[in-house]
Amino acid sequence: MQTSRFIVSTAALALLAGVSFTAAAQQKMRPGLWEHNVSFKSQSGQMEAAMAEMQKSLASMPPAQRKQMEQMMAQQGVGLGATGQSVKVCVTKEQADLDNIPQQEGCTQQVQRVDANTMKVAFSCKGGQGEPPSSGEGTVTFQGPKAYSGQFKFKTVQQGKPEQIDMAQKGRWLSDDCGAIKPMPAGR
């Protein structure tokens, strides 16, 4: 499930960037359960093909096996839809207060404030544990402590070949209670 790990990592990076920005604007991101809706468009079309194949495989599973797979993905906060993927991330009060929000290990970022609600983000990840190295940049715009939207361009490697991926993302706060979704480790 390399693709779902990539989605979770991507959402965590955008979330980390957003919290760093909100602190600069004297506004804190609200702790609790967040949902990030992500849609991708890859230059080669390989990522979309892999996602379509994964959805086709899920659809062709016997109902009990499909339910088990969907539950396993849901425990990690990942859901697949017709127009994109969603990832749920739990942000603790301590993480929000410290502006120390989930970050994939081996990643660094630079955040530049554009105005009171918008920032530019550049990041680089070494890769590892089945993930290829990646880098990218984008813009995140906040609509207060409970919502944001963003546009990113990534460079990575898919099946040994360089790949560029365009990503549109929207995040929204859902609840104070994270339920079964466990907080991700804090950034370093």
pLDDT in tens, 103-153: 566 788 787 878 878 888 888 888 777 778 889 999 988 888 888 888 999
Give the per-residue pLDDT at 137: 92
Give the per-residue pLDDT at 101: 44
Residues lower than pLDDT 70 in the chain? 1-28, 74-84, 98-105, 184-188
48 in Cβ contact with 39 (< 8 Å): no
Q: Rounded to whole angstroms, how far apart are CA atoms 130 and 11?
A: 18
Q: Rounded to whole angstroms, how far apart are CA atoms 155 and 42?
A: 10
Give the per-residue pLDDT at 28: 61
Give the per-residue pLDDT at 141: 85
Give the per-residue pLDDT at 84: 64
Give the per-residue pLDDT at 100: 45
Give the per-residue pLDDT at 81: 60
Give the per-residue pLDDT at 82: 53
145-to-69, 139, 178 alpha-carbon distances in Å: 33, 17, 17
Give the per-residue pLDDT at 175: 95
User: Is the full-model pTM beyond 0.95?
Assistant: no
Angle value at C-alpha 136, between 134 and 140, nearest 5 degrees = 135
How far is C-alpha 1 from the chain's CA centre? Answer: 15
Give the per-residue pLDDT at 11: 54
CA dihedral 54, 67, 15, 108 (to 10 degrees): -50
